[in-house]
Structure 1
Amino acid sequence: MRISIVLPAKNESGAIGDTIAKIHALNIAKEIIVVNDGSTDSTKEIAEQAGAMVISHPYSKGNGAAIKTGARNATGDVIVFMDADGQHDPQDILRLLAKIEEGYDLVVGARQKGSQASIGRGVANKLYNSLASYMSEHKVEDLTSGFRAVRAEKFREFIYLLPNGFSYPTTSTMAFFRAGYSVTYVPIHAAKRIGKSHIHPVKDSIRFFLIIFKIATLYSPLKMFLPFAVVLFLLATGWYGYTLYEYNRFTNMSALLYTGSIMIFLMGLISEQITTLMYKKDE
């Protein structure tokens, strides 16, 4: 297999040189591509001196945009995506590639207990994983990990779905599940990052809810809409039973709840068909 390593980087001058050196020491990569996402420090120069091919964005477009740029320019059969901030151990690349050789299409480095993350992010990740497991009916160990190896041809099938922000791991994982491709996980330890984090608590709180809905719409919207429709239907039936027994009549509230239940179910059904069309491959 020809291996391409893609590192999205924005102001990672403190760690990127050492990260590239460790990857070179493995002697497995056909190419190391650093996508410089509008850095204002010496990230570009250090990466070039370390022997990586650098592709620069004229301004910061986002982590997902950097991933897409790297995937479009990679020439390997397998692409390994990893952070340039020192969190990911290049030695783990070998373990991810071993799973690719076993026949898997996507291998994700699943962060284990003890990895460096705030309590809030840890709780959010558990909720992501639980919801994704429910939606996909597969055990999802780490939905948002950016350390992954993937077959390049299959990854590019879904490149148009990927957002420009930080939720590209979520989108790509659910897309692979939806397409029926083989996904597995390798346990890793994520170290404390070097340099300043690009995560913002307020923005990330909003992003959390957006990712929740993205998981649903990317995989099976009906599984998200149906429980709400059922709850409204049961409430409508319960209220109707109460008003019929007490007042011998059908109220506007029952009509509203029944109507809401039907509308939500139909929205889920239509969304399911749209999602199916999104994943239909051109012949």
Structure 2
Amino acid sequence: MSHLSIILPAKNEGEALKELLPRLRAAQSDAEIIVVDDGSTDDTRDICAAAGVTCLSSPYSMGNGAAIKRGARAARGDVLVFMDGDGQHDPADIARLIEKLEQGYDMVVGARDWDSQAGVGRGVANTIYNWLATRMTGQVVEDLTSGYRAARAARFREFLYLLPNGFSYPTTSTMAFFRSAYPVAYLPIKAAQRIGKSHIKPIKDGVRFFLIIFKIATLYSPLKLFAPTSLLFFLLGCANYARTFWVDGRLTNMSTLMWSAAVIIFLIGLVSEQITSLIYRRDA
């Protein structure tokens, strides 16, 4: 089996790590375990030292995605496993992820069922993400935002420059793998209730929801989002023209504005498509 590195981003997850790290070491005794301490103010560093695992500490919080990037750069294994440090993910599932990865995939994602979602709101949001990503990629996306995944290190590091410092690294990495035609598989898992207080904030999460929707499109094929929007404005312009011509026998500024918007949106989508292609271009 390939040399394995397990990366856990953690911010004030000391309580969970006390229980998780011994279980992780028991499940994967030969693996490199890296806890990336994202500016914690608790005893995370001491717990890692007591457990005999590597702890990379930041002087202040840089975000979940930043911790993932730092851990991926430091890892020595040729297979990377990412899991949350809050105790939700079962270390026993790592073997299943690796077994699936060795069947010829470049990334395997742990797909949560509805009971494993962090509340109804998050469950609904994730269902929408999965549906949209499936439509965009033409592949069945079972869990776009799951943070429990295994990936080949060389493939994953190709996209480090794309990953945000915030919470949407799973979305970005998944769409990047699909765009680059790297095979991705999903494996059903059960996620437990997290230990300690969640870092999720409803208002901030609402804004993040819409940002992820746009990120799904722009990371894969922007024209698939912009072209239907352009067509919608064009049809609205036609409908408005038909109404005003029938009632007043004239063309109004509103119809002209809608048609102009349709052309502009389509051109923006076309330019975005070219930019996306350049982002993923690899030198031979």
Tell whether the structures are fold-level matches, with TM greater than 0.5: yes
1:27-76 deviation per Cα after TM superposition (whole angstroms, max 9, x unaligned): 35431011011110001110121111111111110100000000000010
CA distance in 1, matches of 2:34, 2:93: 18
Q: Kindly report structure 1 stretches of 4+ aligned residues shifted beyond 6 Å.
A: none
Q: Which secondary structure does the structure 2 equivalent of 1:196 belong to?
A: coil
In structure 1, what is the Cα distance between the partners aligned to 2:104 and 2:29?
A: 19
| TM-score (normalised: structure 2) | 0.97
Contact residue 5 and residue 29 of structure 1 kept, 8 A: no
Structure 2 residue aligned with 1:45: 46
Q: Tell me which residue corresponds to 1:134.
A: 135
- By how many angstroms is 1:24 displaced? 1.1
CA distance in 1, matches of 2:35, 2:102: 25
Corresponding residue of 1:220: 221
Which runs of no fewer than 5 residues in structure 1 stay unpaired? none
Map of 2:4 onto structure 1: 3
Please name the residue that 1:257 is paired with: 258
Shift of 1:116: 4.8
Task: Give the letter for the 1:280 counterpart.
Answer: R
RMSD: 1.2
| Structure 1 letter corresponding to 2:63 | G
Closer, same or farther: CA 245–116 of 1 in aligned 2, 3 Å? closer
- The answer to whether the 8 Å contact 1:10/1:39 transfers is yes
Q: For the residues of structure 2 that align with 1:27 and 1:255, how far apart are their CA atoms?
A: 64
2: CA distance between counterparts of 1:237 and 1:12?
57
Q: Which amino acid aligns with 1:95?
A: R
Matched, 1:60 2:32: no
**Aligned residue for 1:236?**
237
* Structure 2 letter corresponding to 1:205: G
Maintained 8 Å contact 1:116/1:191: no
One-letter identity of the residue aligned with 2:169: Y
Superposed, 1:52-131 pairs within 5 Å as 52-131=53-132
For 2:244 and 2:117, the matched residues in 1 are separated by 55
SS in 1 for 2:195: coil
Task: Please name the residue that 1:272 is paired with.
Answer: 273
CA distance in 2, matches of 1:142, 1:175: 15
Match for 1:88: what amino acid?
H
Q: Which amino acid letter does the alignment assign opposite residue 275 of structure 2? A: I
For residues 178-218 of structure 1, what are the alpha-carbon distances to aligned partners after superposition, in whole Å with 9 as ceiling and x for unaligned? 00000010000110000111111111111111111111111
Name the structure 2 match of 1:190: 191
Q: TM-score, normalised to structure 1's length? A: 0.97
CA distance in 1, matches of 2:68, 2:240: 52
> Amino acid of the residue matched to residue 212 of structure 2?
I
Q: Return 5+ residue gaps in structure 2 as ranges.
A: none
Change (3 A) 1:275 1:241: same
Q: CA deviation at 1:117?
A: 1.4
Q: How far apart are the structure 2 equivalents of 1:273 and 1:78?
A: 32
Query: What's the CA shift string for 1:71-128, capped at 9, x where partnerless?
Result: 0000101000001111000000011001111010010000012115111111111111
Distance 2:233 2:213 in 1: 21
Cα pair distance change 1:109/1:118, threshold 3 Å: same
User: Alignment identity in percent?
Assistant: 61
Paired with 2:62 and 2:234, the residues of 1 have a C-alpha distance of: 44
Return the alpha-carbon distance in structure 2 between the equivalents of residues 277 and 29 of structure 1.
40
Q: Is residue 114–residue 123 contact of structure 2 (8 Å, CA) maintained in 1?
A: no
Instruction: Work out whether 1:30 is the aligned partner of 2:53.
Output: no
Does the 8 Å contact 1:116/1:192 carry over to 2? no
CA–CA distance in structure 1, aligned partners of residues 268 and 173 of structure 2: 24
Which letter does structure 1 place at the counterpart of 2:223?
A: L
- Asked if 1:207 is matched to 2:208, the reply is yes
User: Hey, what does 1:170 align to over in structure 2?
Assistant: 171
Separation in 2 of the partners of 1:115 and 1:253? 48
Contact 1:4/1:29 (CA < 8 Å) preserved in 2? no
